[in-house]
Homo-oligomer: A and B are copies of this chain.
Amino acid sequence: MTRTTLLPAMQNAATSDTIAQALSLAIHEHRIAPGTKLGEDELAEIYGVSRTVVRASLQSLSHLKLVDIRRNKGAKVASPSLTEAHEVFEARELLEPRTARSAAKLATPSDIALLERHINEEHTALDAADPGRALYLSGLFHTEIARIANQSTIAGFIETLVARSSLIIALYWRRESALCEKHAHHALVRALADHDEEQAEALMRSHLVDLHSALDLRERNVRAPSLKEALSQ
């Protein structure tokens, strides 16, 4: 149950995939903020590999829209615009309710147990004052449901949407407590366990609408990181 404290903590072989995963996790957990520059040399030294490998990782993350690469300018952690933020949540509202319905049809007892374990871990993270990790686990809950639905193509889409949601939350989150999710996730698990497809779909839809409306997506209320950074792009 121990977890990596700093970015890497790679003990031995760092491949392109493991680096991408480590960075993705760090972004998920808000240990790296949107807009942060990701220099190739810097990362290469951290992970003890050459720029070649780092570049592959960054390109991979840029395809997931977690990282923004611009020619001759390097890579930054993406900072989604208001438009993108709306789009991501609208896409989730289109995909996830239907997926939750399928998951309700297919969920096995062991699936349910896994989901409950996720909720518990999320709880522990919140108690440990680790909101970043809680957020990551909360996202994992959604991707796990997509996996249960046994539609790996759609699950892949949802995975990227959840990842991008993490960036959006970092930029536009309004409410102070993330606890509002707890009940929603619990209720969803119950619906899945009962194979109540209708209920699962409805709960997922309202949960997402709730999340969407918990964002401060009014024009220009974006928290500007710094003047210099705002103008550099």
Contact = CB atoms under 8 A, between A and B. Distances in A.
A87 B153 contact: yes
Interface in A135-181: 151-154, 157, 161
A87 B56 contact: no
- Determine how many copies of this chain the complex contains: 2
Given A56-B59, A63-B60, A94 B91 contact: no
Chain A interface main SS type: helix
Contacts of A151: 87, 90-91
A200 B45 CA distance: 54
A101 to B, nearest CB: 11
Contacts of A91: 151, 153-154, 157
Contacts of A60: 59, 63
Contacts of A22: none
A88 interface: yes
24 contacts: A52-B52, A55-B56, A56-B59, A59-B59, A59-B60, A60-B63, A63-B63, A84-B152, A87-B151, A87-B152, A87-B153, A88-B153, A90-B151, A90-B154, A91-B151, A91-B153, A91-B154, A91-B157, A94-B94, A94-B95, A94-B98, A95-B95, A153-B161, A157-B157
